[in-house]
Amino acid sequence: MNNLYFGLDLNLAEMRYGTEAAMDIAFARRIALGMDTDPLGIDYYRFEPTITKLCKDRDGSCVERSKLAEIIAYGDANVFLACPNPSLAGGAIREIADQEQKKYFFDFVEETHCTTFTGITEPQHGSDVASLETQLAKIDVNTYQITGEKCFITHGFDGKIGVVVARTGSGPLGIQSVMLKEEDLKRGEEEGTLQREMLPIVGLRGTCLSRIVFHNFIIPAENLLGKHLRVSQRGMFSLIKIFNRMRPCVAAFSLGQAQGMLDYVATAISHLTWSQRCLLRSLNAELSYARSNLYASAKIIDENPLDSASVSLVKAQVTRLTERVCSRLLNQIGAVALCAHPLLLKWSRDIYAFEYMEGTSDMQKRNVSQKYLARTLVGMNQK
């Protein structure tokens, strides 16, 4: 008999991901519905072993982070996104912060188990970094101020530390990232120069998507990231590498959630027909193939973080596949079975959100076409 735990077959989870991973999966599955209702309730669990593991991630590879993302997303992707961890802000800190800033950031996250945020997206231009409008102005040798608005920021409302990208001048070199510490955020809220609010959202509520508004928000010059680097290394160039390292993780969220849905249907829903079980086997094979491509692309990024084409292609392919897996599953099991299983109902809504994380498929396809066009032109010139 299957050892079911919130629709989770623990034996199957151990077979897929290992015994230790199965405990992380069980934790996510256990609190999944609660985090959908009250994502800020994750604070109650912030010293759980799974979250402690996430908060200790200082220098994991893209492959390692992607595998961990798939594991916890198999339990519930929304829980992973609600959990305290360095997240995208940690990627920015790893890429462009100096050693002292890195130590401060990762020590703070590991000690406090807090959520983090990265302010890039803006209401008028989305995540198009070239069109950023938020301004970073120098007041004196020790002080800068930020003016502008960021929206759709994961954990922008509750994050205690984060990174914001602003513009110091025109062009790709006029882009600067800054670290905002807990004391900076508290001071800004007290002085009225910083407003943060959580936005209403239907799916993946664990992201706590937020809006942040800066009104001449003061920060010390020591918060600027990458002062030890050349200007070209800390602007657009660094952001490309940061996004590339995150895209396989987003694809892994989607893949893990889809695999979790497949296994849930196979183990928690009785009386599946022969044709339904054949469909499950077919979809499992497709996910297995996508998994191989995903981790191959993550390995490529570990070797060359500027190779946008491989990760963009995989991110677009995996999100499209997982949406199709969800659609075909729901068509097979029917509305009655779906309503009887609230986790399936929640996942059938959440799965469509990954398309919009770290760039839509249209943007990913543009990255691929630009990369291959550039290679073609280089080849023609060499001839």
For residue range 305-318, list pLDDT tens digits in order.
988 888 999 999 99
Q: What is the CA radius of gyration of the chain?
A: 21
Over the stretch 64-103, which tens digit does the pLDDT of each residue have? 999 999 999 999 999 999 999 999 999 999 999 999 999 9
Over the stretch 324-339, which tens digit does the pLDDT of each residue have? 999 999 888 888 778 8
Q: What is the pLDDT of residue 383?
A: 54
Whether residues 253 and 225 share a domain: the answer is no
Question: For residue 4, what pLDDT band results from cuts at 50, 70 and 90?
Answer: low
> CA 140, CA 255: separation in Å to the nearest integer?
48
| pLDDT beyond 90 at 54 | yes
Is position 217 within any domain? yes
Is position 106 within any domain? no
Question: For residue 171, what pLDDT band results from cuts at 50, 70 and 90?
Answer: confident
Domain range holding 266?
A: 237-382
Contact 203, 349 (CB under 8 A): yes
| pLDDT beyond 70 at 374 | no
**H/E stretch holding 335:** helix 308-340
Residue appearing with tokens 């890429």: 95
Whether residues 242 and 376 share a domain: the answer is yes
Contact 122, 148 (CB under 8 A): yes
Whether residues 29 and 160 share a domain: the answer is no
Query: How confident is the prediction for the chain on average, in pLDDT?
Result: 91
Whether residues 339 and 272 share a domain: the answer is yes
Q: What is the pLDDT of residue 218?
A: 97
Spell out the residues 6+ positions from residue 272 whose beta carbon is closer than 8 angstroms to its own. Answer: 265, 266, 280
Is position 261 within any domain? yes
Whether residues 327 and 206 share a domain: the answer is no
Query: Tell me, what CATH number does 126's domain have?
Result: 2.40.110.10
Whether residues 263 and 224 share a domain: the answer is no
The tally of CA atoms less than 13 A away on the side-chain side of residue 362 is 1
- The β-bridge relationship of strands 210-220 and 143-153 is antiparallel
Q: What is the pLDDT of residue 313?
A: 92
Residue appearing with tokens 């297995």: 288
| pLDDT beyond 90 at 131 | no
Which of 234, 268, 286 is the endpoint of a domain? 234
The tally of CA atoms less than 13 A away on the side-chain side of residue 194 is 21
Strand partners, 243: none
Whether residues 245 and 221 share a domain: the answer is no
Whether residues 166 and 42 share a domain: the answer is no
Is position 203 within any domain? yes
Is position 153 within any domain? yes
Amino acid at 268: A
Question: For residue 382, what pLDDT band results from cuts at 50, 70 and 90?
Answer: low
Is position 267 within any domain? yes
Is position 107 within any domain? no
Amino acid at 40: L
Choose between 129 and 224: higher pLDDT: 224
| pLDDT beyond 80 at 8 | yes
* pTM, 2 dp: 0.91
Share of the chain above pLDDT 90, in %: 76
Average pLDDT over residues 197-203: 93
Total count of domains within the chain: 3
Whether residues 262 and 211 share a domain: the answer is no
Q: What is the pLDDT of residue 379?
A: 55
Whether residues 271 and 207 share a domain: the answer is no
> CA 60, CA 67: separation in Å to the nearest integer?
11
Give the E-state strand segments of the chain in sequence order.
Answer: 4-5, 8-9, 116-119, 135-140, 143-153, 161-167, 175-180, 194-198, 210-220
Mapped to the 3 state alphabet, what secondary structure does 238-298 carry?
Answer: HHHHHHHHHHHHHHHHHHHHHHHHHHHHHHHCCCCCHHHHHHHHHHHHHHHHHHHHHHHHH
Is position 98 within any domain? no
Whether residues 247 and 363 share a domain: the answer is yes
Question: For residue 237, what pLDDT band results from cuts at 50, 70 and 90?
Answer: confident
Which of 185, 205, 234 is the endpoint of a domain? 234
| pLDDT beyond 50 at 2 | no
Q: What is the pLDDT of residue 370?
A: 78
Query: Tell me, what CATH number does 280's domain have?
Result: 1.20.140.10
> CA 288, CA 224: separation in Å to the nearest integer?
43
Whether residues 71 and 159 share a domain: the answer is no
Its sign, for the CA torsion 205, 41, 55, 65, is negative
Question: For residue 375, what pLDDT band results from cuts at 50, 70 and 90?
Answer: low
- DSSP-derived letter for residue 21 is H
Q: Work out the angle between the directed axes of helices 62-82 and 19-37 (0-180°, nearest 10).
A: 30
Share of the chain above pLDDT 70, in %: 96
Tokens for 151, please give them. Answer: 């929206």
